[in-house]
Structure 1
Amino acid sequence: MRAFITVISATLLLISSTVNAATKLEVTPAKSAEEKAVLKFTKPIADEFIALINKEFPLYKPMIVRLGGGEGPHFDPEKMEIAVPFTFVTQVLQRFRSPDAEIEGYMTAKEATRHAVMHVLLHELGHALVYDHDIPILGKEEDAVDNFATLVMLWHQGAEETLASAELFALFDLEVEEFSEAHFWGEHSLDAQRATSVVCLVYGSDPDKYEYLMGEQQKENDREGHCQYEYESKSRNWERATETARKLRKP
Structure 2
Amino acid sequence: MKMPTAMKAVTLATVSVFAIALGSSGALAQTSNSSGANSNSGVTTSAAGQKMGQSDLKSKLEKAGVDDREEFKGHLVVAQAPSGQSVQLLFGPEDFEGGKSADKFDQDRVRSKLTKAGFSNIQFGSAASMVRGQMSDDKQILAFSSDVSPAFNVAQSDSPATSDLKKDMKNVDLGDRSEFKGKLVTARTDQGTVRILIGPKEFEGGKSVELSAGDLDKLQQNGFSDAQVTRDVTMVKGEMDDMQIIALSGQGLSSTTGSAR
Instruction: Tell me: higher relative CO, structure 1 or 2? Use CA pairs within 8 A at least 6 residues apart.
Output: 2
Structure index of larger Rg: 2
Do both share a fold (TM > 0.5)? no
Give the helix-richer structure, 1 or 2.
Answer: 1
Give the strand-richer structure, 1 or 2.
Answer: 2
TM-score by length of 1: 0.29
